[in-house]
């Protein structure tokens, strides 16, 4: 990554000559790829981001799963060549991704978020690794208009990954829910490994990831210089439920970051909705299907109780009772 140039913020706003790399004979040695983007919202750099995809990739086809985009966003997308916008309104993210991958006819596809921008040389550096891996991503140059490298630790890289269509079609029909939201990286990494595929993380390549306000009811955090993220109670609940349920459903608790995130989101769910029996029914069902996760959470009881102690005494007692009851119900069922 050190040999790549870091661009100023103005890079994202420059009106450059449109280049469709797919039509350039001089780049015919690069494999053509299908780009898939499931999207419910975009930011003001949408057209510039799309232009960077065509400039840096030989785009065989651009498939957009429209889960609630504005008319303006759709009009902008349709100005680009070889675009199909599929109506995915009302679908879960997982089901939208499944449908998009099942539409792919090229050997390779790129899974992009709507708010990423590709720097020069991205394809030339990323595509050669398709010979080694079935699903891999590059580092995220987090662009909050105060750039910093996002340290993922042992977690797979996210935001701009490449996958082999043939490998994904072995399992993509198993994915149909929203639990992959904001964690497609490790969900697909685990699924690829489950069919004996290879997963990689490319350290010397990055993409620009943009954090900025969006006109969205789904995800529109307030951003501050200190990187404090304020979400409404409803958004916090959505994050907690999808992250916790997705961790249990799609991973095998074999990474420290998985366990720590599960503890974090368990505590958030307990604090925000201690009376919600539906959440506990879903969680109990997931734990019964993945008992190793239940044992891991049981071993984490001291950490969870310590975090709950930071709440008021009333909520501490209530939440602790609810969690211990969940563990009791699990062990009673098994």
* Banded pLDDT at 1 (limits 50, 70, 90): very low
Specify whether 142 is located in the same domain as 52.
yes
Q: What is the 3-state secondary structure of the chain?
A: CCCCCCCCHHHHHCCCCCCCHHHCHHHCCCCCEEEEEEECCCCCCHHHHHHHHHHHCCEEEEEEEECCCCHHHHHHHCCCCCEEEEECCCCCHHHHHHHHHHHCCCCEEEEECCCEECCCCHHHHHHHHHHCCCEEEEEEEEECCCCEECCCCCCCCCCEEEEEHHHHCCCHHHCCCHHHCCCHHHHHHHHHHHCCCCEEEEEEEEEEEECCCCCCCCCCCEECCCCCEECCHHHHHHHHHHHHHHHHHHCCCCCHHHHHHHHHHHHHHHHHCCCCHHHHHHHHHHHHHCHHHHHHHHHCHHHHHHHHCCCCHHHHHHHHHHHHHHHHHHHHHC
Asked if residue 20 has pLDDT above 50, the reply is: yes
Its pTM surpasses 0.85: no
Task: Say which CATH number the domain at 14 has.
Answer: 3.90.550.10
User: Is it the case that residue 332 has pLDDT exceeding 50?
Assistant: yes
- Where is the domain boundary, 150, 179, 210? 210
* Residue in the block written with tokens 């957009």: 64
Mean pLDDT, residues 217-238 taken together: 72
Mean pLDDT of the chain: 87
Residue 90 covered by a domain = yes
Q: Break the chain down into helix, strand, coil percent, rounded to 5.
A: 45, 20, 35
Domain containing 115 equals 9-210
Q: Are residues 166 and 242 in the same domain?
A: no
Q: Are residues 157 and 261 both part of a single domain?
A: no
pLDDT above 70: residue 181: yes
Tell me, yes or no, whether 216 lies in a domain.
Answer: no
70 vs 276, higher pLDDT: 70
Q: What is the pLDDT of residue 318?
A: 76
Question: Would 33 be classed as within a structural domain?
Answer: yes
pLDDT reading at 2 higher than 50? no
Confidence of residue 213 (pLDDT cuts 50, 70, 90): low
Gap between the Cα atoms of 22 and 211, Å rounded: 29
**26 and 99 together in one domain:** yes
Task: State the residue for tokens 């720097």.
Answer: 119
Which among 77-81, 229-233, 248-252 has the top mean pLDDT? 77-81
Q: Which two tokens stand for residue 3?
A: 């040999």
- Based on the fold, state whether residues 76 and 44 are members of the same structural domain: yes
Q: Are residues 162 and 310 in the same domain?
A: no
Number of domains forming the structure of the chain: 2
Nearest to 187, CA basis, from 106, 242, 267, 241: 242
202 and 238 within one domain: no
Q: Does 43 lie in the same domain as 186?
A: yes
- What confidence tens digit (pLDDT) does each residue in 67-120 have? 999 999 999 999 999 999 999 999 999 999 999 999 999 999 999 999 999 999
Q: Are residues 73 and 30 in the same domain?
A: yes
Is the pLDDT reported for residue 46 higher than 50? yes
Give the mean model confidence (pLDDT) for residues 275-283. 83
pLDDT for res 304: 85
C-alpha distances out from residue 254 to 83, 184, 247, Å: 40, 17, 11
| pLDDT of res. 146 | 63
Mean pLDDT score, 180-196: 89
The DSSP secondary-structure symbol of 179 reads G
pLDDT over 70 at 7, yes or no? no
pLDDT of amino acid 159: 87
Task: Quote the CA–CA distance of 164 and 265 in Å, as a whole number.
Answer: 32
């Amino acid at each position: 990554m050190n040999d790549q140039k870091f661009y100023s913020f103005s890079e994202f706003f420059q009106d450059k000559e449109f280049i469709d790399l797919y039509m350039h004979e001089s780049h015919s040695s690069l494999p053509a790829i299908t780009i898939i983007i499931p999207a419910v919202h975009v930011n003001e750099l949408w057209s510039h981001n799309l232009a960077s995809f065509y400039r840096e990739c030989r785009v065989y086809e651009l498939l957009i799963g429209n889960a609630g985009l504005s008319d303006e966003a759709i009009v902008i997308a349709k100005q680009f060549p070889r675009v199909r916008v599929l109506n995915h309104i009302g679908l879960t993210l997982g089901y939208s991704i499944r449908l998009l991958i099942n539409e792919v006819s090229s050997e390779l596809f790129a899974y992009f978020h709507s708010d990423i921008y590709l720097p020069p040389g991205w394809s030339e550096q990323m595509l050669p690794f398709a010979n080694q891996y079935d699903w891999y991503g590059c580092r995220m140059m987090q662009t909050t208009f105060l750039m910093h490298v996002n340290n993922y630790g042992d977690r797979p890289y996210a935001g701009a990954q490449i996958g082999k269509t043939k490998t994904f079609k072995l399992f993509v029909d198993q994915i149909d829910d929203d639990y992959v939201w904001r964690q497609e990286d490790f969900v697909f990494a685990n699924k690829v490994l489950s069919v004996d595929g290879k997963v990689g993380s490319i350290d010397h390549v990055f993409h620009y990831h943009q954090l900025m306000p969006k006109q969205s009811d789904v995800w529109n955090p307030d951003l501050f210089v200190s990187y404090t993220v304020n979400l409404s109670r409803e958004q916090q609940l959505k994050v907690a439920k999808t992250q916790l349920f997705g961790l249990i459903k799609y991973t095998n608790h074999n990474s420290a970051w998985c366990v720590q995130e599960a503890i974090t989101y368990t505590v958030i769910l307990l604090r925000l909705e201690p009376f919600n029996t539906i959440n506990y029914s879903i969680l109990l069902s997931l734990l019964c299907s993945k008992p190793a996760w239940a044992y891991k959470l049981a071993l984490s009881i001291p950490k969870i109780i310590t975090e709950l102690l930071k709440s008021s005494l009333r909520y501490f007692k209530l939440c602790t009772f609810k969690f211990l009851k969940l563990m009791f119900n699990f062990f009673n069922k098994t």
